[in-house]
Structure 1
């Protein structure tokens, strides 16, 4: 099928033309095979389907054998004309690879492709005959469209009379003939054509002509001047410097009969519609009408439409719809209806004849229109950054834009890539050629952009077009719009909007809110700003925060109900079931918003909501990481708790801040805030809080390799947890004790406390801490060189981590499996585990774990002998370690790099890295 494509013609006698001329086909069956395969060119036609089409309902028993014989002869004929690969045998059938005139006609409606009756010289049955009938119908429809544009042509009457003779009951053809005769002054002949049709319909079908043809007959009887209607040319001038929208124009290449152009206010719907209308105007020779429906009722619009088509005011009937459709019948008129508000305003203006085109612009999607008519909707989005730059360059000149490329990029951001905003900004700069683009950017930064984006003498501003869309909203939708304007994140889920009140569908339909995928929605930045200014809604922020607190509390109840410092009433209206996987998935989708919402609460001085939301997210961050955001959340929460003079809340958020600082390798800072928290809980007599802080302080000491101090802290944690009657807390302290013994290189001391902790976690059903303990046990047995149980414990830890979707522990388990497999002499398997661990670490944004995984991957590639890959991983490990400092781990990387350089014979580099490793190891021991 890679050879030359032949040309197959079936719009007349069947022919095949190849590089060497015409194929020598003989007989009806060979021509029929080509015709049938051409009707399905590029797809496989089953043998049974070919038999049905070529022999009908009662084929002979030898039909299949005969078919194969015919196909062989056709294939030879095609090969002889230079098309050896055109007819291909496929499983169960045959396929023709060729250019087919019928397919080309369906795309272009070029009547010149027709040479006579379709598939002449063949005898087809069943679906083949139905396809031929379909082609005939397409041809007669195309002829109707063709002659509708040429009623005053000298051959029009003769050709239409010939077509009517062949299709005497086809009302559109008769109507075209009546119009042509009337335009030629042969009024009696036009009326006689109607009489003949009415008589034939009555005799053969027992029916009358349709209402449109009857209205045409009446108009001819009255010699209605509207039948000699004007050819309107009402399109407004094109906007200057039009740019972009090539994909949207491509969508309309087939000229659908009804097009709705929708999008947010200011996105350029009218500009796009007018531009496209001008581009296709020559395909509508009977004229172009333009109406602004913002200021007209449907009845007024219909009257204006008739005036545009040449009907004087005194000739407009009481019910103008029938006359409107009559005037458009058989014509090709482009009708542009701008700024339509509701689908019902359009319905009277839909032409009855699909030769016309109705182009509508609306902020609403007008979905109700699609329930009655076939509608093609073009949804205009924001300009791309290159398109926005192109628009500014067109208005301001390329040199000016190029000279301030950075400021231009900022201007595009401030205007949100909204065409109206960009045009207004450009207009302000254009009237002052000496003004710098950076000056306007500074003005937009310092002032309200909606006030800045105006031009003297033009009342069409960004604010006014938004206000126009806002005025059409119902009260519930308007209220929801104002609340959503307070949402600080980039997007929000549908359930959040639904919980805040009704109206989301209405806001989406009017494009004030956009769907951005995965059930999430967003407001354009300028729309959000307008929403915040569109009315007084004092409780908007509180309602948003209350919803987020409700979700966070319900999630916390599933993830870790031990975090019980904040309580709220149960809620049935939640976006997840009481399932850990669903809860984490929901919070993952809202992760970025959480920080924005806490910032919003802090900025508004809502101290209680600030610290409670940060507190309720504790268990989520323990499972997912993203500790940099967590640091900022906890800093806001600590400030809020202090403003409330709530020492218990302050201590809890200092504890959370300490964990986040430790996880971002800011361990010295972590130690400071943990000790501040410890002082507060001791003063309050909070044994449980004190025990947790001993645990956390022990963890910090352990990370700093201050193992003696770490052991003291864990022993204190065990003692205080025991006094508080907290079995899980005691088990956690034992687990941390065992973990530290492993880090000390004393695995024999780790086994007993780890097994004790494991037993408690299993009894209490705490899967997450069970996984953590299994990993520490795996490390202990790895150090004891007992690798089989180590692999088993790591495997169990990985399984549980994935079950509870704890990605941090999943990354750790994968890394430990990799290191153990490497020790067992299987670096290929080790690499698979370590690559998987690295992917999870990067998704978490955990640079410490990422650096460790990269280091182990470097060691693995060394074992595999791939020195180049080893170098890449080790260089990346050092870069990651620079962002997550750990002198011991960094020293280990330098030691491995020294080994690599030695293998490469680069002894000077090897010595340098050994020296760096030694210096770092020495520093660790000193500290």
Structure 2
């Protein structure tokens, strides 16, 4: 758009006004160029279209060259008046970015923008002439609307007569003159106007007057009293600033007879409805009625409607609905009913015929209205981020917003893109010009936003509009609303709300809860805050936690029934069956919420629920990873168990914390908490717990490449598992022992314990540990250079991992297949496998596996001769190692990088990576 103070005016003589004054446009050609570009402001106009409109069907051969010359002069004239860059060259044409009075008029119907004939002083052909005719029609239509609302003015007849002289066959205009004459007691003159129209149509067009004006003629002949009914013009003023909603406006292009605009409190329903009603008001020449139904009964509303249509208070009949429909029959009236609560309040106000339009705003969807009438419903959502930014800038001023873009973005987030909140925030800043946007952001951060988002002297605050919606809820829905307000996640499933009690449909209909897709629902951030303040919660948090504990327990019984410290009664309304894939999909959807619920339980002092929920999710994290979140869960759980004095629970959650720390490459920390847990289980005489901790400590030693210590701990684990009679535990320690032999470079020692473990896991039908053992066998045979069995074992492991949807094992199996295919001399297949593994690793959030897979991928790219791809992978691998340190793997990456740089002839870089390789190995 043009800069400050700049405007192109085409509703009269063409002119451009800029900061330095009026542009000097020499001759009709320059004015014509400005005019036609202004008609398509913001859009490129092709050169051939410009030639057509400027020279017509027979342009001279020099037309294009002449056009370029004129454009250059226009561009200079615009620059001279302070508007450089307004006229731009685009591929194949030109574009004018401009504020144009005609565009403003189309939006506002402000007749004061007209200064004479449109595009005066230009010479146009073809579509340019058609545009002039279109603008003339728009002006006369606006004048018809203007005088249709002012027929009782003294000068109405005089002005309408002048307009009819210029447009003698325009029936709506002639009809307005007839009405004005009739209302002024000049009945014969009104009939004479109709007679002249009829003769003129017959003489010039061979046609008769249309049915609407013929019916008006008949009504004047009969002195019909309905002609004296009022033509109300009650629409409120437009909001000072309006942005967005283009799609919603477009959906109303067909003027459906009944429209319901619904949405959350504060989303701008009334603003939207008034804006649209103003845009289409000229299509309803018989008037526009506005009623606020918040405090009116249906009977009172009907009486007010009759008053608006000209029925005196002492003439309201016993059956007002029949009179209402009679008065509206054959008319075109727009009726805007604001803040409707229930469908039954609207039913008596539905017009009898479809020439009228009923526009309704409501916080409820009023779905019951659709059982009686055809209803077009628009559900207004929050503004998009750009729309919210634009609205804020329009109100406060672009200069202040542009000066603090970061603070503005934060403010939009704090206001939740809710129009009312944005308007209040802008108003607070507008009354204090020296205040920074960042200051208001700090106030919102440090205080209750519902208190901050208010303006002195205005009782329409965010809190009050939410409260008015809340007051209409049933007691059951109000209780559910309060409980859901405590849900800490971004969204929740329908079954959770249903388990908390009835009322979800009512909350959705009132837009206090919104559906976000896939059967999930959410509360706007400000509404959630209001919900938490809206009454006594009672046992709401405990009920929420109980639902999540029920789900986690049922899921754990499917994923890993060995985790049996917590028992709960069976539940019939679970959101999944006992299918492992279905269970994991459910927990995937609730993964973030589980961590939020553990935080909520810890914050609420519900210690038992805190550790139990973390404990019951063990099997899920074994399958899915996301170990960083698991570390935090276990930290809360350990603290909760200690607060309860429950040493068994504390030991178990320390063990879980140690595993999560190890999986995030925090192995030294993992060793500390595992040994704390070991001391607790020994004190309690828990042999099974002791054996499992020996196994975990051995794993940590193995990752630290302290192999002798690892072997000792695995043997201790086997001994204690054996003493406890735990065959699966013994087999698990054997599997891990074999895995460590492979890491030590002694694969020949790994085969026997791995086959023994595999036999036990198959006998016990433990698919997960069977897959883990098959992968270790694959690694052992790969190290033994016996690659065909290695491929077979990795393939079997991949099949089982996918069958049980264990992402971590799937990633490992794909990696094993990739490195084995590379050893077999098929780097292309290796790259496919490793690329697939990388995708899974990243979904897991497993930095260690991601870094290792990237290094293996670099080997495959080197074998394929793609040095650039290899370099990218190695760079990413070393970057990932900063978050998941492993000296041995980091050294391998540097060694491969040195080989790559040597092949590229970059000897200095090769030497640097060799030095880093040696340093890492030594360290």
Which TM bucket (shorter chain)?
0.7 to 0.9
Which residue does 2:219 correspond to in 1?
A: 182
Quote how far apart the aligned CAs of 1:656 are. Answer: 0.4
Which residue does 2:474 correspond to in 1?
A: 474
Which residue does 2:309 correspond to in 1?
A: 309
Which residue does 2:822 correspond to in 1?
A: 822
CA distance in 2, matches of 1:335, 1:590: 46
Of the structure 1 ranges 398-407 and 274-283, higher mean CA displacement relative to structure 2 is found in 398-407
Which residue does 1:709 correspond to in 2?
A: 709
Calculate the TM-score normalised by the size of structure 2.
0.78
Quote how far apart the aligned CAs of 1:435 are. Answer: 2.0
The 8 Å contact of residues 424 and 455 in structure 1, kept in 2 or not, is answered as yes
Q: Is 1:763 the equivalent of 2:800?
A: no
Quote how far apart the aligned CAs of 1:569 are. Answer: 1.2
CA distance in 1, matches of 2:874, 2:811: 19
Which residue does 1:361 correspond to in 2?
A: 361
Q: Is 1:537 the equivalent of 2:537?
A: yes
CA distance in 2, matches of 1:150, 1:783: 100
Which residue does 2:567 correspond to in 1?
A: 567
Quote how far apart the aligned CAs of 1:333 are. Answer: 1.5
CA distance in 2, matches of 1:145, 1:343: 35
Residues 149 and 620 of structure 1: CA distance in aligned 2, closer, same or farther (over 3 Å):
farther
CA distance in 1, matches of 2:312, 2:197: 28
Q: 1:704-745, CA deviations, whole angstroms, 9 ceiling, x for partnerless residues?
A: 111111111111111111111111111110110111111111
Quote how far apart the aligned CAs of 1:225 are. Answer: 2.5
CA distance in 2, matches of 1:735, 1:477: 54
CA distance in 1, matches of 2:914, 2:195: 97
Quote how far apart the aligned CAs of 1:150 are. Answer: 10
What aligned pairs does 1:64-213 form with structure 2 within 5 A after superposition? 154=194, 177-183=214-220, 186-187=221-222
Quote how far apart the aligned CAs of 1:144 are. Answer: 13
Q: 1:547-591, CA deviations, whole angstroms, 9 ceiling, x for partnerless residues?
A: 111111111111111100011111111111111111111000000
CA distance in 2, matches of 1:336, 1:631: 57
The 8 Å contact of residues 144 and 330 in structure 1, kept in 2 or not, is answered as no
CA distance in 2, matches of 1:243, 1:608: 51
Which residue does 2:718 correspond to in 1?
A: 718
Quote how far apart the aligned CAs of 1:322 are. Answer: 2.5
User: RMSD of aligned C-alpha atoms?
Assistant: 2.6
Which residue does 2:732 correspond to in 1?
A: 732
Which residue does 1:390 correspond to in 2?
A: 390
Residues 739 and 433 of structure 1: CA distance in aligned 2, closer, same or farther (over 3 Å):
same
Which residue does 2:794 correspond to in 1?
A: 794
Quote how far apart the aligned CAs of 1:326 are. Answer: 2.4
Residues 627 and 174 of structure 1: CA distance in aligned 2, closer, same or farther (over 3 Å):
same
Quote how far apart the aligned CAs of 1:391 are. Answer: 1.9
In structure 1, the gaps of 5 or more residues are: 1-18, 21-109, 111-142, 163-172, 188-222
Q: 1:790-839, CA deviations, whole angstroms, 9 ceiling, x for partnerless residues?
A: 11111111111111111111111111111111111111111111111111
Quote how far apart the aligned CAs of 1:367 are. Answer: 1.2
Which residue does 1:577 correspond to in 2?
A: 577
What aligned pairs does 1:219-618 form with structure 2 within 5 A after superposition? 225-618=225-618
Which residue does 1:682 correspond to in 2?
A: 682
Residues 293 and 722 of structure 1: CA distance in aligned 2, closer, same or farther (over 3 Å):
same
CA distance in 1, matches of 2:410, 2:668: 39
Residues 760 and 147 of structure 1: CA distance in aligned 2, closer, same or farther (over 3 Å):
farther
Quote how far apart the aligned CAs of 1:912 are. Answer: 1.1
CA distance in 1, matches of 2:764, 2:350: 70
CA distance in 2, matches of 1:592, 1:230: 60
Which residue does 2:692 correspond to in 1?
A: 692
CA distance in 2, matches of 1:454, 1:447: 13
The 8 Å contact of residues 175 and 216 in structure 2, kept in 1 or not, is answered as no
Which residue does 1:898 correspond to in 2?
A: 898
The 8 Å contact of residues 602 and 640 in structure 2, kept in 1 or not, is answered as yes
Q: 1:126-153, CA deviations, whole angstroms, 9 ceiling, x for partnerless residues?
A: xxxxxxxxxxxxxxxxx99999999968
Quote how far apart the aligned CAs of 1:439 are. Answer: 2.1
SS of residue in 1 equivalent to 2:360: strand
The 8 Å contact of residues 854 and 876 in structure 2, kept in 1 or not, is answered as yes
Q: Is 1:746 the equivalent of 2:746?
A: yes
The 8 Å contact of residues 297 and 345 in structure 1, kept in 2 or not, is answered as yes
Which residue does 1:907 correspond to in 2?
A: 907
Q: 1:745-794, CA deviations, whole angstroms, 9 ceiling, x for partnerless residues?
A: 11111111111111111111111111111111111111111111111111
Residues 467 and 156 of structure 1: CA distance in aligned 2, closer, same or farther (over 3 Å):
farther
CA distance in 2, matches of 1:823, 1:627: 31
SS of residue in 2 equivalent to 1:565: coil
Residues 330 and 863 of structure 1: CA distance in aligned 2, closer, same or farther (over 3 Å):
same
Q: 1:615-663, CA deviations, whole angstroms, 9 ceiling, x for partnerless residues?
A: 0001100100001110000001111111111111110000000000000
SS of residue in 1 equivalent to 2:882: helix
SS of residue in 1 equivalent to 2:739: helix
The 8 Å contact of residues 157 and 181 in structure 1, kept in 2 or not, is answered as no
Quote how far apart the aligned CAs of 1:231 are. Answer: 1.4
Which residue does 1:879 correspond to in 2?
A: 879
What aligned pairs does 1:800-811 form with structure 2 within 5 A after superposition? 800-811=800-811
Paired residue total: 742
CA distance in 2, matches of 1:150, 1:376: 35
Q: 1:29-51, CA deviations, whole angstroms, 9 ceiling, x for partnerless residues?
A: xxxxxxxxxxxxxxxxxxxxxxx
Which residue does 2:669 correspond to in 1?
A: 669
The 8 Å contact of residues 695 and 714 in structure 1, kept in 2 or not, is answered as yes
What aligned pairs does 1:844-863 form with structure 2 within 5 A after superposition? 844-863=844-863
CA distance in 2, matches of 1:583, 1:154: 78
CA distance in 2, matches of 1:582, 1:270: 44
Which residue does 1:137 correspond to in 2?
A: none
CA distance in 2, matches of 1:149, 1:774: 90
CA distance in 1, matches of 2:501, 2:493: 13
CA distance in 2, matches of 1:341, 1:699: 64
Quote how far apart the aligned CAs of 1:247 are. Answer: 2.1
Q: 1:480-525, CA deviations, whole angstroms, 9 ceiling, x for partnerless residues?
A: 0000001011110000000000000100000000001111100011
CA distance in 1, matches of 2:194, 2:256: 30
Residues 146 and 318 of structure 1: CA distance in aligned 2, closer, same or farther (over 3 Å):
farther
SS of residue in 1 equivalent to 2:488: coil
In structure 2, the gaps of 5 or more residues are: 1-56, 59-136, 138-169, 180-192, 203-209
CA distance in 2, matches of 1:711, 1:720: 14
Residues 147 and 780 of structure 1: CA distance in aligned 2, closer, same or farther (over 3 Å):
farther
CA distance in 2, matches of 1:900, 1:869: 11
CA distance in 2, matches of 1:811, 1:754: 20
The 8 Å contact of residues 172 and 213 in structure 2, kept in 1 or not, is answered as no
CA distance in 1, matches of 2:902, 2:211: 94
Calculate the TM-score normalised by the size of structure 1.
0.77
CA distance in 2, matches of 1:893, 1:577: 45
SS of residue in 2 equivalent to 1:346: helix
CA distance in 2, matches of 1:148, 1:543: 68
The 8 Å contact of residues 383 and 419 in structure 2, kept in 1 or not, is answered as yes
Q: 1:353-383, CA deviations, whole angstroms, 9 ceiling, x for partnerless residues?
A: 2222211111011111222222221111112
Quote how far apart the aligned CAs of 1:284 are. Answer: 1.7
Q: 1:171-218, CA deviations, whole angstroms, 9 ceiling, x for partnerless residues?
A: xx98985454113xx22xxxxxxxxxxxxxxxxxxxxxxxxxxxxxxx
SS of residue in 2 equivalent to 1:590: helix
CA distance in 1, matches of 2:913, 2:175: 86
Quote how far apart the aligned CAs of 1:437 are. Answer: 2.0
The 8 Å contact of residues 225 and 311 in structure 1, kept in 2 or not, is answered as no
The 8 Å contact of residues 226 and 309 in structure 1, kept in 2 or not, is answered as no
CA distance in 1, matches of 2:877, 2:564: 39
Quote how far apart the aligned CAs of 1:343 are. Answer: 1.2
Residues 844 and 269 of structure 1: CA distance in aligned 2, closer, same or farther (over 3 Å):
same
The 8 Å contact of residues 623 and 805 in structure 2, kept in 1 or not, is answered as yes
